């Protein structure tokens, strides 16, 4: 496994990052023991970088996976908090739930413009204080938008940017794939550490996985690429590809048979909170309940976190 340093942070991460959203309740909802076993399998294969978020509800999976593990592990998490108090509570929860004395990378979740960044600045200031105290090693943002990357690039205090980018441009807001690539290059010039998300377009590009991975790995400014994984077979496939080893035909066949879709339970009450949350415009209300346009859905699962009755899942 190849490792690179994230910008100026001094934090060394594997080129393949384990995106833990997949194993949690917003997606396939693996039991803690089962999800932890997949994460541990990836750690043993050389993956030292785990990406999570408060809203993913996968802290328990990670904590279990790390029990008895004495190797290096880098954890990045995120919070939607916008106030000093809210971010303090988010950090305290992460430290407690993960059983850690520090968090390596803490990001403001989904910052799509300079305006949203200003609206969360109080929370970011708390993270800066936490960084000074050694409770956090690096701070930054995650974003789906070109403007978000460009805005963060110009904030000196930001260490890390976690942008959405993929070969088809699926889910990129405020510009094209080329616009995002230009923004990423610009952020790298400002010394920011960068690691990518949604390189498989939230599942839409699974059939083009090798092309999608090759595209991401050829972007010279990315230290790492976060990929959601839910089984040992997926870990094997990804680790083999990222380390330049041949992928056996039988492994390809297993993964090619798996499909993913957004599922809305029958008890949906049609409150509309998921529709408001969906940045892709894939959800709408019809007949008193939410419905999905699968052609627009990027399978991120964020709508599930907004549902008060947990009606929405990516399966």
Instruction: Look up the CATH number of the domain holding residue 290.
Output: 3.30.70.20
Count of domains in the chain? 2
pLDDT over 90 at 5, yes or no? yes
Do 126 and 153 fall into the same domain? yes
Q: Which residue has the tokens 């916008």?
A: 82
- pLDDT tens profile 51-81: 999 999 999 999 999 999 999 999 999 999 9
Q: Choose among 122, 191, 116, 194: nearest CA to 151.
A: 116
Rounded to an integer, what distance in angstroms lies between the CA atom of residue 189 and that of residue 305? 35
Q: How many other CB atoms sit within 10 Å of the CB of residue 216?
A: 24
Give residue 273's domain range. Answer: 262-314
**Final residue before a domain boundary, out of 256, 271, 294:** 256
Do 287 and 215 fall into the same domain? no
Q: DSSP state, 54?
A: G
Mean pLDDT of 17-29: 91
Do 205 and 236 fall into the same domain? yes
Q: What is the CATH number of the domain that holds 233?
A: 3.20.20.100
Do 69 and 180 fall into the same domain? yes
Would you state the torsion angle of the CA atoms of residues 304, 235, 74, 58, taken in this order, to the nearest 10 degrees?
30
- pLDDT tens profile 193-227: 999 999 988 776 777 889 999 999 999 999 999 99
Q: DSSP state, 245?
A: P
According to DSSP, the residues that pair with 291 across neighbouring strands are 284
Q: DSSP state, 169?
A: -
Do 278 and 181 fall into the same domain? no
Contact 161, 143 (CB under 8 A): yes
Do 137 and 38 fall into the same domain? yes
What is the structure's pLDDT at 315? 66
Do 247 and 287 fall into the same domain? no
Q: Choose among 140, 133, 126, 56: nearest CA to 101.
A: 133
């Amino acid at each position: 496994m190849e490792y690179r340093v994230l910008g100026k942070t001094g934090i060394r991460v594997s080129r393949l990052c384990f995106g833990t959203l997949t194993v949690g309740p917003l997606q396939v909802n693996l039991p803690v023991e089962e999800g932890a076993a997949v994460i541990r399998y990836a750690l043993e294969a050389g993956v030292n970088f785990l990406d999570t978020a408060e809203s993913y509800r996968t802290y328990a999976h990670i904590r279990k996976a790390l029990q008895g593990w004495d190797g290096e592990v880098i954890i990045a998490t995120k919070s939607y908090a916008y106030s000093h108090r809210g971010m303090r509570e988010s950090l305290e929860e992460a430290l407690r739930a993960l059983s850690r004395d520090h968090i390596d990378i803490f990001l403001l979740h989904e910052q799509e413009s300079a305006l949203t960044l200003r609206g969360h600045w109080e929370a970011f200031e708390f993270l800066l204080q936490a960084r000074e105290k050694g409770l956090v090693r690096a701070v930054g943002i995650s974003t789906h938008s070109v403007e978000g990357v460009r805005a963060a690039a110009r904030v000196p205090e930001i260490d890390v940017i976690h942008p959405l980018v993929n070969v088809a441009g699926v889910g990129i807001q405020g510009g094209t794939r080329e616009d995002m690539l230009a923004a990423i290059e610009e952020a790298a010039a400002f010394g920011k550490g960068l690691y990518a998300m949604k390189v498989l377009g939230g599942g839409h590009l699974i059939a083009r996985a090798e092309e999608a991975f090759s595209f991401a790995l050829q972007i010279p400014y990315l230290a790492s690429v976060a990929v959601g994984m839910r089984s040992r077979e997926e870990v094997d496939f990804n680790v083999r590809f990222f380390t330049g080893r041949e992928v056996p035909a039988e492994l390809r066949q297993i993964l090619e048979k798996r499909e993913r879709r957004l599922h809305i339970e029958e008890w949906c009450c049609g409150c509309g909170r998921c529709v408001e949350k969906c940045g892709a415009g894939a959800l709408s209300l019809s007949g008193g309940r939410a419905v999905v346009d699968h052609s627009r859905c990027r399978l991120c699962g964020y709508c599930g976190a907004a549902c008060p009755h947990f009606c929405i899942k990516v399966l």
